[in-house]
Structure 1
Amino acid sequence: MWALILCILIMSGMLYTTLITWVLGHAYIGSPIIEPISYTRLLVIAFIALCIFIPIRCGLNSLKSYQKLIFQVSISLTIAVISFLFAQTHAHNALQERLKNRILAKDTVKVLVYIQKMDQLKEQSIQQDIQVFTPDSNGAWRDWRTSFSLKKYKENPLKLGHYYWLEGQVDKIHGYATPYAFDKEKWLIAQNIMGTLRITSIQEADEHILKQDYRYKLFVQEQNHWFSLWQLAIEKKRLQYRHFFEQQSFKHSGLLLALLTGDESLITSHTQEQFQHLGISHLLAISGPHILIFAGFITFLIQGVIYFLFPNLYLKYPRKYVLAIPFLLGVLFYCAFVGFEIPAIRTLITVVIFTLFLFLKQKVSAFFTILFSASVMLWLDALNILSAAFWLSYGACFVLIRIYQITEQRSQISWFKRIFKPFVSSQWQIFIALFPITLIFFHQISWFAPFTNLVAIPLLGGVVVPLIIFAACLFNVVPVIGFYCFKIADWVLDVFSKILMYLEKLPLATAYIPLNTWQIALCAMGILILFLPKRTSPKFWALVCFLPCILPVKQDRDFEFNVLDVGQGQSIFIRHHDYNMLVDTGGHFNESNFSLAKSILLPFLMKKGIADLDHVLLSHLDQDHSGAFSVLKQNMPIKHVMSNHEPNDLKQIKKFAYCHEGQFIHYDRLKVQILSPNLDGLQHVEKSANEYSCVVYLSYENENKKRLNFLIMADVGNETEQRLMKEYPNLPVDILVLGHHGSKNSSSETFLRHYQPQIAIASAGYNNRYGHPHTDVINRLEKLGIPLWVTSETGAIQMTLQQNGRIESQFYRDSKSWLKYVK
Structure 2
Amino acid sequence: MSFLLLLLGWIVGILTIGNIFPSTFQSTFSFVAAVVFFLSGIGLLRPFFKAKLSYSPIYRSIFGILLSLSGFFTGHFYANAQLDQRLAKRVMHIEQVDAIVYISQISQWVLDDPSGAKIRQKAVVLNQAHSPMLWTLNIKEELPYANMLPGHYYQVSGKVRPAHSYAVPGVFDAEKWMLQDNVMATLQVKTIQPVTANEVSNLGYNFQQFIEKQASWNARLKLAVEQKRFDFRDYLSRQPFQQKGLLLALLTGDESLLSKETQQMFKRLGISHLLAISGPHVLIFAVLFCFVINLLIKRFKPQIYLKIPRPYLMLLPFVLCVWLYTAFVGFEIPALRTLLTVILISTIILLQQRMRASSILVLSAALLLLFDPFSILSAAFWLSYGACFILIRVYQTIQQKSEAATEHEQVQTWRDKTVLWLKVLVESQWKIFIALFPLVILIFQQVSWAAPFANLIAIPIIGALIVPIEVIGAFLWLLFEPLGMLFFQLADACLRLLLWMLGCLDSLMASSLHWFAMTPMLIFMLSLSVLMIFLPRGVIPKGWAVLCVVPILLGVKHDDAFRLNILDVGQGQAIYLHMPKHNMLIDTGGNYDESKFSVGQQIIIPYLMQQGVKHLDSVLLTHLDQDHSGAFSRVAEEIKIDQVVSNQKDQRFDGYPFEYCHAGQVWQYGQVKIEVLSPQSADLNQVANNQNELSCVLYIQALQVGKGYKSFLLMGDAGWEAEYQILQRYPHLNVDVLVLGHHGSQYSSSFAFLKQLHPKLVIASAGFGNRYHHPSPITLARLQALKIPLLTTIDQGTIQFQLDHNHEMQIREFRSEKTWLRR
Selected match of 1:760 from 762, 767, 783: 762
Contact 2:145 2:193 in 1 (8 A): no
Selected match of 1:153 from 127, 139, 143: 143
> What residue is the counterpart of 2:86 in the other structure?
98
> What residue is the counterpart of 1:262 in the other structure?
253
1:775-786 maps to which residues of 2 (within 5 A)? Answer: 775-786=777-788
Displacement, 1:29? 0.9
> What residue is the counterpart of 1:55 in the other structure?
46
Displacement, 1:529? 1.4
Equivalent position amino acid for 2:489 in 1:
K
> What residue is the counterpart of 2:72 in the other structure?
84
1:696-711 maps to which residues of 2 (within 5 A)? Answer: 696-702=698-704, 708-711=710-713
Residues in 2 aligned to 1:701 and 1:222: alpha-carbon distance in whole angstroms: 66
Residues in 2 aligned to 1:36 and 1:474: alpha-carbon distance in whole angstroms: 61
Contact 2:226 2:328 in 1 (8 A): yes
Higher mean Cα deviation, 607-616 or 494-503?
494-503
Displacement, 1:803? 6.9
User: Which 5+ residue runs of structure 2 have no aligned equivalent?
Assistant: 406-411
Residues in 2 aligned to 1:55 and 1:567: alpha-carbon distance in whole angstroms: 59
Q: Note the alpha carbon deviations across 1:389-420, whole angstroms, 9 max, x for none.
A: 00000000000000111111111273245311
Equivalent position amino acid for 2:549 in 1:
F
Equivalent position amino acid for 2:174 in 1:
K
The answer to whether residue 71 in structure 2 is matched with residue 69 in structure 1 is: no
Equivalent position amino acid for 1:619 in 2:
T
SS in 1 for 2:121: strand
SS in 2 for 1:487: helix
The answer to whether residue 156 in structure 2 is matched with residue 175 in structure 1 is: no
User: Alpha carbons of 1:690 and 1:116: their partners in 2 closer, same or farther (altered >3 Å)?
Assistant: same
Contact 2:36 2:69 in 1 (8 A): no
1:553-702 maps to which residues of 2 (within 5 A)? Answer: 553-555=556-558, 557-650=560-653, 654-702=656-704
Selected match of 1:130 from 123, 126, 135: 123
1:191-202 maps to which residues of 2 (within 5 A)? Answer: 191-202=181-192
Residues in 2 aligned to 1:219 and 1:551: alpha-carbon distance in whole angstroms: 61
Selected match of 1:451 from 436, 442, 453: 453
1:369-768 maps to which residues of 2 (within 5 A)? Answer: 369-411=360-402, 412=405, 414-505=416-507, 506-555=509-558, 557-650=560-653, 654-702=656-704, 708-768=710-770
Residues in 2 aligned to 1:78 and 1:479: alpha-carbon distance in whole angstroms: 60
Displacement, 1:703? 6.8
Contact 1:176 1:566 in 2 (8 A): yes
Displacement, 1:704? 5.6
Equivalent position amino acid for 1:760 in 2:
V
Residues in 2 aligned to 1:455 and 1:724: alpha-carbon distance in whole angstroms: 64
Contact 2:518 2:611 in 1 (8 A): yes
Equivalent position amino acid for 1:419 in 2:
W
User: Alpha carbons of 1:705 and 1:337: their partners in 2 closer, same or farther (altered >3 Å)?
Assistant: closer
Displacement, 1:376? 0.3
Q: State how many pairs are aligned.
A: 802
> What residue is the counterpart of 2:15 in the other structure?
27
The answer to whether residue 274 in structure 2 is matched with residue 286 in structure 1 is: no
Displacement, 1:228? 1.5
Equivalent position amino acid for 1:131 in 2:
V
Contact 1:36 1:85 in 2 (8 A): no
User: Alpha carbons of 1:357 and 1:801: their partners in 2 closer, same or farther (altered >3 Å)?
Assistant: closer
1:790-805 maps to which residues of 2 (within 5 A)? Answer: 790-801=792-803
> What residue is the counterpart of 1:304 in the other structure?
295
SS in 2 for 1:675: strand
User: Alpha carbons of 1:130 and 1:576: their partners in 2 closer, same or farther (altered >3 Å)?
Assistant: same
> What residue is the counterpart of 1:820 in the other structure?
822
Residues in 1 aligned to 2:175 and 2:53: alpha-carbon distance in whole angstroms: 57
Contact 2:322 2:339 in 1 (8 A): yes
> What residue is the counterpart of 1:274 in the other structure?
265
Residues in 2 aligned to 1:787 and 1:706: alpha-carbon distance in whole angstroms: 15
Displacement, 1:54? 4.0
Displacement, 1:551? 2.6
Displacement, 1:649? 3.6
Displacement, 1:700? 1.7
> What residue is the counterpart of 1:228 in the other structure?
219
Displacement, 1:578? 3.8
SS in 1 for 2:493: helix
Work out the percentage of aligned pairs sharing the same amino acid: 39
Contact 1:178 1:604 in 2 (8 A): yes
Equivalent position amino acid for 2:194 in 1:
E
Contact 1:585 1:627 in 2 (8 A): yes
SS in 1 for 2:306: helix
Contact 2:163 2:184 in 1 (8 A): yes
Q: Name the Cα RMSD after superposition.
A: 2.4
Q: Note the alpha carbon deviations across 1:366-387, whole angstroms, 9 max, x for none.
A: 1111111000000111111100
Contact 2:47 2:53 in 1 (8 A): no
Residues in 2 aligned to 1:135 and 1:175: alpha-carbon distance in whole angstroms: 22
Displacement, 1:58? 4.8
SS in 2 for 1:686: helix
Higher mean Cα deviation, 388-397 or 534-543?
534-543
Displacement, 1:550? 2.2
> What residue is the counterpart of 1:333 in the other structure?
324
Q: Note the alpha carbon deviations across 1:651-699, whole angstroms, 9 max, x for none.
A: 6x54233333333332212222233333343323333322223222222
Higher mean Cα deviation, 770-779 or 506-515?
506-515
Residues in 2 aligned to 1:576 and 1:18: alpha-carbon distance in whole angstroms: 45
Equivalent position amino acid for 1:348 in 2:
L
SS in 2 for 1:363: coil
> Structure 2 length normalisation: TM-score?
0.93
> Structure 1 length normalisation: TM-score?
0.93
Contact 1:591 1:628 in 2 (8 A): no
The answer to whether residue 773 in structure 2 is matched with residue 771 in structure 1 is: yes
Contact 1:706 1:804 in 2 (8 A): no
Equivalent position amino acid for 1:632 in 2:
V
User: Alpha carbons of 1:79 and 1:154: their partners in 2 closer, same or farther (altered >3 Å)?
Assistant: same
Higher mean Cα deviation, 516-525 or 438-447?
516-525
Equivalent position amino acid for 1:334 in 2:
Y
SS in 2 for 1:499: helix
User: Alpha carbons of 1:25 and 1:249: their partners in 2 closer, same or farther (altered >3 Å)?
Assistant: same
Residues in 1 aligned to 2:621 and 2:488: alpha-carbon distance in whole angstroms: 52
Q: Note the alpha carbon deviations across 1:18-52, whole angstroms, 9 max, x for none.
A: 12221111111111236389999957743433325
Q: Note the alpha carbon deviations across 1:754-784, whole angstroms, 9 max, x for none.
A: 3222211100011111010001111111122
Contact 2:592 2:598 in 1 (8 A): no
User: Which 5+ residue runs of structure 1 have no aligned equivalent?
Assistant: 1-12
SS in 1 for 2:247: helix
User: Alpha carbons of 1:136 and 1:440: their partners in 2 closer, same or farther (altered >3 Å)?
Assistant: closer
Residues in 2 aligned to 1:683 and 1:563: alpha-carbon distance in whole angstroms: 30
Equivalent position amino acid for 1:484 in 2:
L
The answer to whether residue 110 in structure 2 is matched with residue 119 in structure 1 is: no
Residues in 1 aligned to 2:605 and 2:673: alpha-carbon distance in whole angstroms: 25
